Structure 1
Amino acid sequence: MSINEVVIVTGASSGIGKATVVELSKKNFHVIAGVLKEEELKLFTETNVEPVLLDITNEDDIASLVRLLNKNRKTYKIVSLINNAGIEFNAPFELLKMEDWRNQFDVNLFGQVALTKALLPFLRKSHGSIVNITSVGGKVAMPNYSAYAATKFAFEAASDSLRRELKDQKIKVVIVEPGGIQTEMAAYSGDLSLNFEKTLSVEDKKLYSNLIKSAVASQSNFLKHAMTAEKAGKKVAAIATKKKPRTRYSLGMDAKMTLPMVRFFPTKFVDWILELNRKLT
């Protein structure tokens, strides 16, 4: 009876998730690729990729995945869970509706927690790894990114605590902190912010229009030269299958520059640098 080494990837329909699935399939892992829509089940033609409907905020979808793993428990060895799913809607703290705050926390934190809790028995049996895709935004909160950054700060904290809790159980917990990556979500998030700005009242435009437009322009300019999703996917696939991974990895030049700055320089200096960068865009 052959044993399949299985990696589970959420948010697999595009961007880093899709690129990671493709790279893992090349390495001959059996990849369970979580997608949101029926039509996305046809995205992968590789024979060792098993697409499944997986909305991580949906208890039924998580239960369905657990049933699949139990059904194949004799032939599936769960090597890694890659928590990659995420959404991003950027707007000023004051103007973002509470519904939008909650939606981002539901996907970017609570959904990740629910899925991880459900799969821990399988990872405990295999001594596998959990790879949590957070963000440079989990260490530095840019203006206009308050809700998204808050979810990533929280996911970083949860990941740190989980790693310390699971050490004696021989389950590895790894944090990957991407900066700007050329993905559909990154490009779309800028459009969402600009469309949101058009709906503002005259008074709110006076307060926030320049901030929103400059934040989007800064992101758009950087993405022209940012790491591609394909390159990021190769790195995530390599990290997820390492026998002895580091605790943290950063992806992209902005992450490699920003993270040390936040660590070593005073907060007011960091604020000044970020504001200068936004105004010069």
Structure 2
Amino acid sequence: MTRPRKDPRKKPQKNELAVVSGASSGIGAATAQTLAAMGYHVLAGVRTDSEADAVRADGVEPVTLDITVPEHIEALARRIADDPDRRVLRVLVNNAGIEINAPVEVLPLSLWREQFEVNLFGHIAVIQGLLPFLRRSRGRIVNISSVGGVAALPVFGAYAGTKFALEAASDSLRREVAAHGVQVVVVQPGGVRTEMAARSGDISLELAAGMNTEHQRLYGDLINATVSSNTAFLERALPAANAGARIARVATTPRPRTRYTLGTDAAFIIPLARFLPARLLDGILAVSHRSRKQKSAPTPAPESVGSPS
């Protein structure tokens, strides 16, 4: 008897939910789309109606989710609890984030606090709100960290601080919930071509323009060289679609590692930061900064040749 062939166009029916925060664009949108293609019903966190319209698709249901707003998290928990198809929550991808880069001395405390509210406390709030559902399904939490969660480069102090903290919280959480059947995985992307990454350079230059004369003298060259280097690097960085596809695989692989790097730069920088002596790494970064400064410096105009006036 000949078995009927499976239609390759038909999506697998997993009858499970996945939540992705920060899903309006970039890595989050790509992750949501890939999980939906795998057969999950994805609750994609967005903040505006226009973002919802942009991400809505077969298997992708936009939900209003500013992770710093408790009422949004409570509404998401009710949506999961009252799911009309009684689907379990299998995957939570904590991806939402902001990046505002400036020297430690220069960045206003309000912007330090804003980054920690989004990049750390917001994710903890989502985890606290949804962990009971993941415990019932023996599900998985994927926290999107950064190469900055291991290597804190100049000008990236606040952003890196949030990611270092998320790394530590993820380690504690993983050890706390392992006995409950919940898995916790950290993904450490390097450079990825996203709107957030592109905007961060403009924000840094705007902050630099508002610095006082002394801060301009102390940090102006460093900021300009860093933004110039990052802008050039992003042109050849990992596309967001590739990053999202990789994260979706990490979220669903049967036996995940505790950490995954994302991109060749992360695979190179993270071991370097872990094993090189700190002073040696400082020296390498200082040499790199001097090189970037020279490349970004304007070329002097050639002197005219002729009779002196």
TM range (shorter): over 0.9
> Could you say what secondary structure the match of 1:8 adopts?
strand
Question: How many angstroms apart in 1 are the aligned matches of 2:257 and 2:167?
Answer: 15
What is the correspondence of 1:259-270 to structure 2 with a 5 Å cutoff? 259-270=270-281
2:212 corresponds to: 201
Cα 1:3–1:28, aligned 2, differ >3 Å: closer, same or farther? closer
Contact in 2 for aligned 1:3/1:77 (Cα 8 Å):
no
Structure 1: which amino acid aligns with 2:180?
Q
Q: Deviations along 1:165-216, whole A, 9 cap, x unmatched? A: 0110110000000011111100100000011111111121001101111111
Moved more, 199-208 or 122-131: 199-208
Question: Which residue number in structure 1 is paired with residue 4 of structure 2?
Answer: none
Conserved? CA contact 1:92–1:145, under 8 Å: yes
Rounded Cα–Cα distance in structure 2 between residues aligned with 1:31 and 1:279: 46
8 Å CA contact 1:5–1:79 kept in 2: the answer is yes
Runs (4+) off by over 6 Å: none
Q: Unmatched 5+ residue regions in structure 1?
A: none
**2:137 matched residue in structure 1:** 126
Give 1:48 shift: 1.1
Bigger CA drift: 69-78 or 105-114? 69-78
Asked whether the 8 Å contact 1:31–1:49 carries over to 2, the reply is yes
For 1:27 and 1:267, how far apart are their aligned partners in 2? 43
Which residue, out of 95, 100, 103, partners 1:89? 100
Q: 1:240 to 1:3 in 2, by over 3 A?
A: closer
In the TM superposition, what is the alpha-carbon distance from 1:278 to its structure 2 partner?
Answer: 2.5
Asked if 1 retains the 8 angstrom alpha-carbon contact of 2:96 and 2:118, the reply is: yes
1:117 paired with 2:128, answer yes
Q: In 2, distance between residues paired with 1:73 and 1:268?
A: 57
Cα deviation for residue 265 of structure 1 reads 1.1
Question: What is the SS of the residue equivalent to 2:154?
Answer: coil
Q: Conserved in 2, the CA contact under 8 Å of 1:79 and 1:241? A: no
* 2:155 maps to 1:144: yes
The higher radius of gyration belongs to 2
Q: Which amino acid aligns with 1:207?
A: L
State which of 189, 195, 203 in structure 2 corresponds to 1:178: 189
The amino acid of 2:52's aligned partner reads L
Q: CA deviation at 1:17?
A: 0.3
Give 3-state SS (helix, strand or coil) of 2:90's partner.
strand
Rounded Cα–Cα distance in structure 2 between residues aligned with 1:244 and 1:52: 29
The one-letter code sitting in structure 1 at the alignment partner of 2:166 is F
- Rounded Cα–Cα distance in structure 2 between residues aligned with 1:124 and 1:144: 39
Match of 2:68 among 57, 60, 72: 57
Bigger drift between 129-138 and 200-209 goes to 200-209
Counterpart of 2:58 (choices 47, 51, 59) is 47
State the partner residue of 2:266. 255
Q: Which segments of 5 or more consecutive residues in structure 2 lack a partner in the other structure?
A: 1-12, 293-309
Which moved further from structure 2: 263-272 or 87-96?
A: 263-272
Q: Which of 65, 68, 81 in structure 2 is aligned with 1:70?
A: 81
Specify the alignment match of 1:240 in structure 2: 251
Equivalent position of 1:168 in the other structure: 179
The residue number in structure 1 matching 2:32 is 21
How many corresponding residue pairs? 280
Could you say if the C-alpha distance between residues 177 and 166 of structure 1 is closer, same or farther in structure 2, counting changes exceeding 3 Å?
A: same
Distance across 2 between alignment mates of 1:166 and 1:208: 44
8 Å Cα contact 2:19-2:92 kept in structure 1: yes
Q: Which has the higher contact order (CA 8 A, sep 6+)?
A: 1
Question: Which residue pairs with 1:12 in the alignment?
Answer: 23
Alignment partner, residue 155 of structure 1: 166
